[in-house]
Each structure stands twice: as structure tokens, then as C-alpha cells.
Structure 1
Amino acid sequence: MRAWVLSLLMGLVWLTGQAWAGDISPVIPKAQGACVDEPQAMRRHHFDYLKHQRDDTLRSGIRGAKYSLKECVSCHALRGHDGKAVPVNAEGQFCQSCHSYAAVSIDCFTCHATVPDKAPKTAGVTQ
């Protein structure tokens, strides 16, 4: 059995036990922009989209497509009180919230940046 299937099954068993204990829905921080797809589709299929995009990028050199991890981070990395981006995989942040809830490890960020590489665009400001 593949490791991800085993992880998924273990997560489902854990969630079933937690569901009996009461409502434990994760607190998910709001994104800073409009998502590239409907929230339900993203919740259910984001890992497939990201894997497909990864393959397109590695094998065909296609970058900046619809399901780019860089674009995800640019909207989902929130700013702290100091104005600096908080990593998406930090405690209580976007990716970490759901992955912790589902008991799924995040390995994307062993290589990829957890914060945007530049400041977000501000609406209504022209340069």
C-alpha cells in the first residue's frame, strides 16, 4: 500500500475518533485574494492540482500556470503585526491549519518558500 494511502486512512481514523468528541473544525485564515478555483474544489483536489503543476513544471518547463504553489503562497501567507509575511506552514496559518486537522504532513516547503518573494500588490495604487 502506498504511503499516502496509509496516511490518508490513518487521518480518517483519527478524524472519526475526533468527530465523536465534538466539533473540531479547523480555524482557517482567510486568503488575501480571490482563489483560482471554487473553495470546495480546492479543498478536495488541491494536492492533485499541485502534483499536476509540479509535473508540468519539471518535465515541460511550464511555470506560472493556474495552480502554481507560488501563487497559493502569495495569497495565503498572512502579514503579522510587524508587516512581515507569516509562513503558510507556521502554527495556525493556512496550510498548516488544514494539514494538522487532517493529520497530513506538508513536504512542499522542504524546497519551496513559505512566504511570498515580494510585497503584495495594493489595490488602487498606481506606480
Structure 2
Amino acid sequence: MAKAAVRAGLVAVGLAWVLVAQVVLAADAKTYVVEGSKAAVLESCVEPTDIMRRKHMELIKHQRDETVHGGIRTSKHSLAGCVDCHIRYDADHAPTPIHRKDEFCGACHAFTAVNLNCFDCHASVPKGSAAHAAPQSVGVDRPLQARPDGEDH
């Protein structure tokens, strides 16, 4: 009888931990979008949130292949589109580089221990006058460069 009571107590404690973990994860889910970004006021991204969380890299790779190998330039799944929507601006209206560890891309990649090297070549802030604010290093945080045909790269 005592073993059954102990077992029931352990099961209850385990269920309580599961419930607490679900509450914590639900609270964390709300923090994936950075406050002060365009994305913070939108109902959903270019795809439903669960698809974006699970398949964003596949979408980005597909966009890359269409652009680089097929010459097809669309903006639905473009990296520049992600930056434009998910970037946060500071009090001086300067964009905060999206790959910093406390920003949209950087925070998720740091949490999952995934190397984030997109911004070794791509801009981590939107192009435009505010995007020229003090880049941290050469090749990083620079605005997208316009090609002669008018497209960004």
C-alpha cells in the first residue's frame, strides 16, 4: 500500500512538471517575435507560424535555388523580406542587426545551438538610410547592394 502511495505521488509530481513545462513553453512561444518589429503586429508570417518554425530553412534554401540557379526573384520567402519584417528599431530609429543573440534570428539560433552564417554575406538590417548606421564589421550588417539590373543581392 505504501509503494502505491509513493508511486501515485511520483506520478502526480511528474504530471505537475509536465504542466509547468507546457506553461513555460507557451510563454516562451510568445517571445519569438521581437517587440517593436512589423511582425509583432501581424497575425501570421508568409506561412503559418508552425510551418515557419519547422521549415524556414527549407523555404530559404528553395528561394536561394530559385534565385541563384533559376534566375527567379520573388520576395515571398526571401531573406531580405524576413529582415524587413522581423527587425527591431532602437530608440533612435536605427535597425538592430537581426542576427545578434538578443534579436529574432540570433536568439532562436543561439537557443537551438545552430550556427547562423547567413549574415556573413547577407545584410542583417534593411536597406535604406537607417540601415547605414554603424556596421559592426566588414561584410556584416551592410545594406543589400543593388545590381545593375535593379535587383538586390
On whether the aligned pair clears a TM of 0.5, the verdict is yes
Q: Distance in 1 between matches of 2:129 and 2:76?
A: 20
Unaligned runs of 5+ in 1: 1-21, 121-127
CA distance in 1, matches of 2:121, 2:73: 16
- Residue 79 of structure 1: aligned partner: 89
Give the Cα separation in 1 of the matches to 2:83 and 2:129. Answer: 12
TM-score (norm 1): 0.70
Once the two structures are TM-superposed, the CA of residue 119 in structure 1 deviates from its matched residue by 6.9
Cα RMSD for the two superposed structures: 2.3
Picking from 69, 73, 90, the partner of 1:59 is: 69
1:39 lines up with 2:49 in the alignment? yes
Deviation at 1:65, TM superposition (A): 3.4
The structure that has the greater radius of gyration is 2
Distance in 1 (CA, whole Å) between partners of 2:70 and 2:76 is: 15
Q: Distance in 1 between matches of 2:89 and 2:110?
A: 21
Q: Which amino acid aligns with 1:93?
A: E
1:50 aligns with 2:31: no
Equivalenced residues, count: 100
Please say which of residues 60-69 and 109-118 is displaced more in the overlay.
60-69
Report deviation, 1:91. 2.6
Larger RCO: 1 or 2 (CA < 8 Å, sep 6+): 1
Question: Could you say which residue in structure 2 is the equivalent of 1:100?
Answer: 110
Unaligned runs of 5+ in 2: 1-20, 131-153
Amino acid in the other structure paired with 2:88: L
Choose which of 119, 131, 136 in structure 2 pairs with 1:109: 119
1:22-37 to 2 correspondence within 5 Å?
25=28, 27-28=31-32, 29-30=34-35, 31-33=37-39, 34=42, 35-37=45-47
> What percent identity do the matched residue pairs reach?
37
TM-score by length of 2: 0.58
